[in-house]
Structure 1
Amino acid sequence: MTATTGTDDGRGGRDGEDDRAELARLLPPATGFALPPGRHEHHRERLMNQIDHDTAAASASAKDRAPARPRLLRPSFLAPAITFALAGVLVAGYSAQGGPDLPVRADSGASASERAGNAQPVALVLNRISDAAAKSHAGPVRYDQFVYVRSQVQDGDLTGGTLVTGPLAEREIWYAQKPGPQKKLGQIRQDGETFPINAELGDTDGTREGVNRPTYRWLAALPTDPQRLLDHLTALTPESDTQEHAQAVFDQIGHLIRETVLPPETAAALYKAAALIPGVTEAPGAVDAVGRKGVGIARVDARYSWRSEWVFDPETLAYLGSRTFLTADTEIGGKGALLSADAVVKRDVVDEAGVRPQD
């Protein structure tokens, strides 16, 4: 049985939905350090697959080899980031991106004049990036097509309680563009495995277009006035005790530019909106997951000692990738320890999931 047919699974639940809902209900409230958006879904899906496997195995003993349910996958576009504490509960035994709480750090102490001094140069840089994005020929993307992105990704491993940087891995995503609530959103291929992307947990009727499922059509409908766009994204980004809200909004924009095809006007507005976020600065010497150097844009979450950087091609100003790393010594790792990184290798539009575009 699949998680989208709506049939009874023999335990009074619909295709295991009750199992996952009960698991979510029993977990403690999320506290501590928040992961960057979109960086936890691979490990979480491996966990969900293991839960399905174990449940099926238990059922087999009781019901004479009942068949296992297929794998489940959540969208890669998950704006509300899973916290480190929650990830530690969920991914025990896996190479995870989560872990124990990071110590709360005091604010950076930068004065208002210092913050204002940083605003002008980064605004000029982001305006240049915005102008370049506005001249791109990306899209449009038809409803029956898929956005394809191939990346090199690297994640921190906290299986042993200490942050260890994992190896680079190739990740491919095919993201469906169909309008309206959808239960099948595409697929991901990583670490030699291919997973379907099912609707987000709790979306029994399918996941709608939105910040957690940013289709080309949804992105094209966003406000193109930078302040209105920033206000809109700020309202869509949940408040959290585990992350500065301004940092969450910055990461939300980073999540929108990472694995989508952006309409040129929307892309231009997103970069100008990012320039309005307090604390956003230039990042000289920024590099992506494969070491490509470029124009860097960054923000530091001073409370939790981590820094998010975006990297752009120094000539074309096209997005190259991102990095997130610790900015101070913590219980799980030293200053500079990598939490996650990516490098976009290919971005295109294809007619079928699982099919690579022609180079």
Structure 2
Amino acid sequence: MMWTDSELDQALADQPAPAFSPEARARALAALRAAEAAPARRNGKAWWLAAAAAAVVATGVTATFLSGGPAPQASAAAVQSLQQASTVVGDVRVGPGQYYYTATHDWDLGAAQTRTGKHLDAMLENVREVWIPANRSDEWLRRSGYTGRHTWIVGSDDLVKAEGDGGLFEPAKITEERGTCGDWNGRQMPQLGGSPDDGKPCDQRIGDFSAPTPRFIAQLPTDPAKLYDQLLAAAHGDKSTALKDAAGVLLSADADHAVRSTVYKALMLMPGLDVTDNAANLDGQRGVALGVSNGTLRQEIVLDPGTGRYIGDRLTLVVDGSDYWAGVKAGSVVEFNSVRIGVAEKIGVAPR
């Protein structure tokens, strides 16, 4: 296991969403502008966290901490301490011949039934590494797959031996795929299948929030309110999807400090969003989590306090499960991952 039982079982309290009036939205924008103009912004030290504190206060969104319940007054102090500790410049520079490297480590819930109808729920470990060349038209590399490791939530290895796994487990296998523009083995990226980008040269593709291209990043609104509206529209009104989509931009090598700033400010306008200090991702990195609940699931993305970059996310069941998740109790983490980034000198070789 890559996390302790207490970390995995930690369920963050579902906070009631405040009324988000036009006046609250105006206060949030005013607070964000004030935070951006503050010394923290001029010194370049995690100014996005200062904006977070300002927006949390202005919108009335409650900050929640792993150590206990709501603590809106403590949130400003926590953000300030993180601000003082943050001196890392977050932009990633990928030079000619180099590769933007991402490593993703996932544990996801799989569900099935045995031959006699007994429920099986297990967390399955998957890994993925991607090398993206500075010249996007050059060859990309992706290694990914199921490691064979699992932990039980409902069921056991003995039960599976006796009654079968209902298709829950696949053979452990790490595959390697290559292709220009991220068209793995010559296939268009799945996220873009059926889109206007099909068949276009690499540098002409627009992409989307789940697979942002340099052109997509460049065309994002610079106004936080407009970007929030675009995120929500792309997510068809689902706030948890909008939060996850924002993570795709925050992870992109093409999202510089200014872009990440706008994304973060846009998320601060989301009704019901809360901020959790010192939240852990899968591999022990600790950061600031932004979370929202739809009443059944709580989606969080975890950000590095020094750079504002996305370093992981988790999905928590906030009510007892049914149907697909029958037998899974409220507070169970059903998806949990970490993301690490770097610049690689050679394709297929992870940076140190």
Residues in 1 aligned to 2:142 and 2:99: alpha-carbon distance in whole angstroms: 10
How has the CA–CA distance of structure 1 residues 177 and 218 changed in structure 2, closer, same or farther, with 3 Å as cutoff?
farther
Aligned length: 241
| Alignment CA distance shift 1:259-1:336 (3 Å) | farther
Say which SS state the counterpart of residue 283 (structure 1) adopts: strand
Q: By how many angstroms is 1:176 displaced?
A: 5.0
Q: Matches of 2:284 and 2:253 in 1, distance apart?
A: 22
CA contact (8 A) 1:328 1:335 kept: yes
Could you tell me which residue of structure 2 aligns to residue 166 of structure 1?
124
Choose from 201, 207, 212 the match for 1:210: 207
Larger displacement relative to structure 2 (309-318 or 321-330): 309-318
TM-score by structure 1 length? 0.54
Do residues 228 (structure 1) and 223 (structure 2) align?
A: no
1:262 Cα deviation after fit: 2.7
Partner-residue secondary structure (3-state), 1:147? strand
Partner AA of 1:154 in structure 2: W
Which amino acid counterpart does residue 330 of structure 1 have in structure 2?
G
1:22-61 equivalent positions in 2, closer than 5 A: none
Contact 1:306 1:327 in 2 (8 A): yes
Q: Give the match's secondary structure for 1:250.
A: helix
Asked if 2 retains the 8 angstrom alpha-carbon contact of 1:294 and 1:311, the reply is yes
Give the 3 Å change call, closer, same or farther, for CA 349–292 of structure 1 in structure 2: closer
Q: TM-score, normalised by structure 2?
A: 0.55
The CA deviation at 1:136 is 2.1
Identical amino acids, percent of aligned pairs: 23
Aligned to 1:282: 275
- Describe the SS at the equivalent of 2:102: strand
Deviations 1:76-104 (A, max 9, x none): xxxxxxxxxxxxxxxxxxxxxxxxxxxxx
Distance of 2:217 and 2:247 partners within structure 1: 14
Provide the rounded CA distance (Å) in 1 between the counterparts of 2:267 and 2:341: 22
> What is the CA distance between 1:315 and its match in structure 2?
6.3
Q: Which residue of 2 aligns with 1:320?
A: 311
Q: 1:147, 1:350 within 8 Å by CA — same for their partners in 2?
A: yes
Deviation at 1:217, TM superposition (A): 5.1
Unaligned stretches of 5+ in structure 1?
Answer: 1-106
In the alignment, is the contact (CA less than 8 A) between 1:126 and 1:272 conserved in 2? no
Give yes or no for the alignment of 1:350 onto 2:293: no
Matches within 5 A, 1:266-281: 266-281=259-274
Q: In the alignment, what sits opposite 2:291? A: 298
Residue of structure 1 equivalent to 2:299? 308
Judge conservation of contact 2:131–2:141 (CA < 8 Å) in 1: yes
CA contact (8 A) 1:215 1:260 kept: no
Q: Deviation of residue 288 (structure 1)? A: 1.0
Conserved 8 A contact 2:275-2:289:
yes
**Cα distance, 1:289–1:227 mapped onto 2, change above 3 Å:** same
Q: CA deviation at 1:210?
A: 2.1
Give the structure 1 partner of residue 61 of structure 2.
118
Partner Cα separation in structure 1 for residue 345 and residue 94 of structure 2: 10
Q: Tell me the equivalent position of 2:41.
A: none
Q: Is the 8 A contact 2:62 2:275 kept in 1?
A: no
- Residues 108 and 132 from structure 1, CA distance in 2 versus in 1: closer, same or farther, beyond 3 angstroms? closer
1:256 — aligned with what?
A: 249
Between the aligned partners of 2:121 and 2:222, the Cα distance in structure 1 is 40
Whether the 8 Å CA contact 1:145–1:349 is kept in 2: the answer is yes
Counting only pairs closer than 5 Å after superposition, residues 238-253 of structure 1 correspond to structure 2 as 238-239=235-236, 245-253=238-246
Other structure's SS at 1:209 match:
coil
Alpha-carbon distance in 2 for matches of 1:132, 1:217? 33
Unpaired stretches in structure 2, ≥5 consecutive residues: 1-13, 25-58, 64-71, 114-118, 148-173, 179-183
State how far apart, in whole Å, the 2-side matches of 1:112 and 1:290 are.
36
**One-letter amino acid matched to 1:245:** D
Conserved 8 A contact 1:127-1:272: no
Distance 1:220 1:131, change over 3 A: farther
In 1, the alpha carbon distance for the partners of 2:315 and 2:267 equals 17
**3-state SS of the aligned residue for 1:328?**
coil
Question: For the Cα contact (< 8 Å) 1:129–1:318, is it kept in 2?
Answer: no
TM superposition shift of 1:319: 3.9
SS of residue matched to 1:112: coil
